[in-house]
Amino acid sequence: MLNMSSRDLKHEAIRLSVTAAFTELRDGLCRENRYGGMGGINASCMHASSKFNMNYRWKTFQSDGYDAGDQARVLEAARRGGPVIVILEGGGPHHFAKFPEHHRVRTGKTKQTLFTAVEDDWRMPQTWVDDYMIGTKALLRRHATAYPSNVCVLWKTMHIGPRSNNTSTHHPSVVNGLHHWLNRLAIAAAQDARVGILDLSDLTMTMTATPKLTGAHAAVSAEGDPYHGFPQGVLVPELLQRACTRCSLSVHRPSGSPMVLPKDVIPSQCGTAPGT
């Protein structure tokens, strides 16, 4: 259930959730509240001979009321000693669920929304871009300078797939789609905040995402479902490897000094220390 006292927007979501137009906003807020209220999902993971603890929280918006709790958990992990890797991604397309136009069902045979199908000549409103970037920069500012030297902060881009040119619409997470442009803006903001970048687009642009045939947002075009349709068994180990490399070799702290981790805590097959 929603915590009605935590955000005025949640009151608005409940008021408007009686209409189909606000289903995504209602569901997004419920997921955010559930995961945020429980402090995220904790798991112990193994990759090759590396063992690490992971805390994951699903976000609806780029910046939200649970970010302070995330920051406190990072500080607690850092106090326990050892390296800590923070990977930020934000809410992605769910951030725009606050705008009714984003999830209005389009006319036509597919009856898709902007979550999965964008007309080639459609332009994102400047107010949407402003709102996304204000939240993104706030999230980056919160994490970029708040931690001791054993914490490494990275920004992960949204997955981007190849684009099909045989229709007048495209998935927003394909080459030069809406989310590709948002990635570029977020990368610039992260670099300005001296936060390292994790981008797997060089891999995903060579892959064909499998389609999503069921659920609220089916993705049945030739471009498939870039949100969920890439092989995670390939991408997750590569994500870990790149995070390790970025944090041991090229990520610089706001002070300008590189983050150098002790060799005895760096697994040889990873190149750096496991994240928390």
Distances (CA, A) of 2 to 24, 92, 232, 250, 257: 14, 21, 31, 41, 43
pLDDT at 67: 93
The answer to whether residue 96 scores a pLDDT higher than 50 is yes
Share of the chain above pLDDT 70, in %: 75
pLDDT at 106: 61
Mean pLDDT of the chain: 78
SS3 category, 150 = coil
7-33 tens-digit pLDDT: 555 444 444 444 545 677 777 788 788
- pTM for this predicted structure: 0.79
Query: Which CATH code is given to the segment(s) 41-265?
Result: 3.40.50
SS3 category, 252 = strand
* Nearest-angstrom CA–CA distance, 194 and 188: 10
Q: What sections of 38-177 are H helices per DSSP?
A: 67-79, 126-144
pLDDT at 125: 93
